[in-house]
Amino acid sequence: MDTLLQQLINGLTLGAVYALVALGYTMVYGIIGLINFAHGEVVMIGTMVAFTVIVSLASSGMSPLLILGVGLLVSVVVCMVLGWALERVAYRPLRHAPRLTPLITAIGMSIVLQNVAMIIWGRNYITFPPMINKQIYEIGGASFTNVQVAIVSLAALVMLGLIYLVHRTRIGMAMRATAQNPHVASLMGVDINRVIAMAFIIGSALGAVAGCMVGSYYEIAHYQMGFMLGLKAFTAAVLGGIGNLAGAMAGGLLLGLIEALGAGYIGDLTGDFLGSHYQDIFAFIVLIIVLMFRPSGLFGERTGDRA
C-alpha cells in the first residue's frame, strides 16, 4: 500500500509539471488554434535563464530563497519577451496561411532555439544548483521532499491564478471572447492582436515557471530537455481537450499518474511483457483510447467550433 501511495505522490509531482507546461500549449491553441511546437523550448530557455541567474547570484550572499525568487522572476520576464517575439515574428505573419505552415515554422523555431541555447549554455548537462535544503518527509511509508511540496503548491497556485485571470479579469474575458468568436469580440472593442500576443506571453510565463520547477526538482538541465517535456505536455493537453484550461490541468495530472502507475504496475499485470520499457507509450495508448470515445478529449467541446 505504501508503494501505491508513493507512486501517487510521484505521479502527482510529475503531473503538476506536465500540467503547467500543457497550459502553455492550451492557452495559445484555445485562442488561435495553433500548436506552438516551440513551447517546450521556451520552457528550456526558462530553466537555462534561471540557472544562469542563480549561479551568478549564488556567491552574492543573498538568501537562497531570494535568489531563487530573482531567478524565477528574470526567467519569467525573459520568456514573456520570447513568447511575444515568437508570436510577432514567426506566427502573426502567418495568421491566414494554410494550417500546416505555422506548424513548420514552429518546428523551425524550436530548432533555432535549441541551437541558440547550445551556443550560449554549451552541450554539457548543467547541474542546477540546489538552493533549497532538501528535507525528506515520510507519511505511511511513502516519502516526499519539501521541493515536491513547493512544486505542487506553486503549480496549484499558478493554476488558480490563471483561472482567476481568465475568468475574473478584463483581459481574461477578452481572451475567452476571442477564443469563442473573434469577429464578435472585435466588435466589442477587443483588439484581437493584443489578446493573441497576451496568450503567448502568459503561456510563456507559465512555461518559465514550469522550467524553474523542472530545474529545481531534477537539478539538471540540458539544451535538449524541452523536446520530450513539450511532447508529453502536448499529449496531456490533448488528452484533456486542447484549448481547455481545466482539461490541460486534468490531462497533465492524469498523464503523470498514468506514467507512474503504468511503470509501477503494468509489468506485474502483464507478466512483465509490458514493463517499464513501455512507460512512454502508456500515455499514448490511453490517449488513443480516450480519443476513440471522446474525439475532442476529456474536457473538449463535443462539437468543436474549429475544424
Site for other proteins in 100-119 (CB under 8 A): 100-105, 107-112, 114-116, 118-119
Q: Work out which of 50, 216, 259, 298 binds other proteins, going by CB under 8 A.
A: 259
C-beta of 70 vs 192, nearer to other proteins:
192
C-beta of 74 vs 290, nearer to other proteins:
290
81 binds other proteins (CB under 8 A): no
One-letter amino acid of 277: H
Q: Work out which of 88, 220, 269, 270 binds other proteins, going by CB under 8 A.
A: 220
Part of the chain binding other proteins (CB under 8 A), chosen from 50-58, 71-79, 198-206, 264-272: 264-272
Q: Work out which of 19, 154, 162, 263 binds other proteins, going by CB under 8 A.
A: 263
C-beta of 33 vs 73, nearer to other proteins:
33
145 binds other proteins (CB under 8 A): yes
> What residues contact residue 77 under an 8 Å CB cut-off, 6+ apart?
none
Site for other proteins in 18-77 (CB under 8 A): 29, 33, 35
Site for other proteins in 195-214 (CB under 8 A): 214
What's the min distance (Å) between Cβ of 1 and other proteins?
Answer: 11
185 binds other proteins (CB under 8 A): yes
User: Would you say 182 and 112 are in contact if contact means Cβ atoms under 8 Å apart?
Assistant: no
183 binds other proteins (CB under 8 A): yes
Part of the chain binding other proteins (CB under 8 A), chosen from 45-53, 74-82, 246-254, 298-306: 298-306
16 binds other proteins (CB under 8 A): no
260 binds other proteins (CB under 8 A): yes
132 binds other proteins (CB under 8 A): no
Count of CA atoms in the C-beta half-sphere (13 A) of 17: 29
Q: Which of 233, 227, 280 lies closest to 106 in space, CA to CA?
A: 227
Residue 39 CA: distances (Å) to CA of 55, 110, 225, 232: 24, 8, 12, 12
